[in-house]
Amino acid sequence: MIWKKTMSLADCNKFCQQTAISHLGIEFTQQGDDYLEATVPVDHRTVQPFGLLHGGISATLAETLGSLGAALCCDENQIPVGTELNISHLKAVRQGKARGRAKPVHLGGSSQVWQIDIYNEKDELCAVSRLSVRVLDKK
């Protein structure tokens, strides 16, 4: 198991209340030994004018998952700060929910790298992303 801190899914969702994350309907749904998942609805809050999931929302889902995953892998006296996010959109998400799954590629003392894959409800890969994180000591 990679986690240094434990938070239930309910705690993860509560932690994000009153933020952009909850406003967009992003919800943490599953956690395994080395991954974290969340969903975002495809609705009026998250689509672009053509009715497809907005690419910026996919990026928000990716950064949300990678950042919380990184936080759960930090020591108590550390915080993660995102330094780079890239995302490639492979297939449009038109309805239902998009599901993101974050897994670490690298968990170092001063940096982390997370791979976040985004799927539609048919389990088709719709986007791939990578988040680089700097691990800082709390002041």
* Whether pLDDT at 136 is above 90: yes
Indicate which CATH number applies to the domain containing 62: 3.10.129.10
Three-state DSSP state, 64: helix
What's the pLDDT tens digit per position in 10-65?
Answer: 999 999 999 999 999 999 999 999 999 999 999 999 999 999 999 999 999 999 99
In a domain, 95, yes or no: yes
In a domain, 1, yes or no: no
Helix (H) or strand (E) holding 89: strand 78-89
Active site residues: 63
Q: Which domain holds residue 30?
A: 9-137
* Whether pLDDT at 139 is above 90: no
Provide the domain count of the chain.
Answer: 1
In a domain, 52, yes or no: yes
In a domain, 129, yes or no: yes
In a domain, 16, yes or no: yes
Kindly provide the b/e burial profile for residues 89-120, where b requires at least 16 CB atoms within 10 angstroms of the residue's own CB: beeebeeebbbbbbbbeebeeeebbbbbbbbb
